[in-house]
Amino acid sequence: MTKILLAEDDNDMRKFLVRALQNAGYEVASFDNGRSAYHRLREEPFELLLTDIVMPEMDGIELARRATELDPDIKVMFITGFAAVALNPESNAPKDARVLSKPFHLKELVTQVKQLLAA
């Protein structure tokens, strides 16, 4: 089963995303900040990191950078209300990362996740 690591500091959004991804057949480990998500990444491999960009303790871009250092094959998708932030070249976000802008439909999320994992 494909394992997804989710980092999202908004509790309702996180629960919503976990349920949608689990219903689509994915195994999901979720965290409310980048630091705890990073510690989990160091313990076991995940196929996909799905992360909010703006979070306390460690933002999503820093988390993604560290995740790809640990595992160059991990796929990264940012969820954000601020797409311009993610796409800023100075951010050093992983080159192949996808950005999904809020608000989005769960169907769209699942479709994007499937496409990214298949790429």
DSSP string, 35-59: HHHHHHHHHS--SEEEEESS-SSS-
DSSP one-letter code for 102: S
- Statement: residue 78 has pLDDT above 80: yes
Residue 101 has pLDDT above 90, yes or no: no
Res 90: pLDDT: 67
Instruction: With CA atoms as reference, report the closest residue to 84 among 93, 76, 73.
Output: 93
Query: pTM of the predicted model, to two decimals?
Result: 0.91
The CATH H-level (homologous superfamily) assignment of domain 3-118 is: Response regulator (3.40.50.2300)
* pLDDT for 103: 86
| Tens digits of residue pLDDT in 39-50 | 999 999 999 999
- Per domain, the residue ranges of the chain are 3-118
Residue 43: the pLDDT is 96
Q: What six digits make up the tokens of 84?
A: 């311009």
Task: Please write the tens of the pLDDT for every residue from 4-21.
Answer: 999 999 999 999 999 999
- Distances in Å between the Cα of 117 and the Cα atoms of 2, 39, 84, 89 are 9, 22, 23, 23
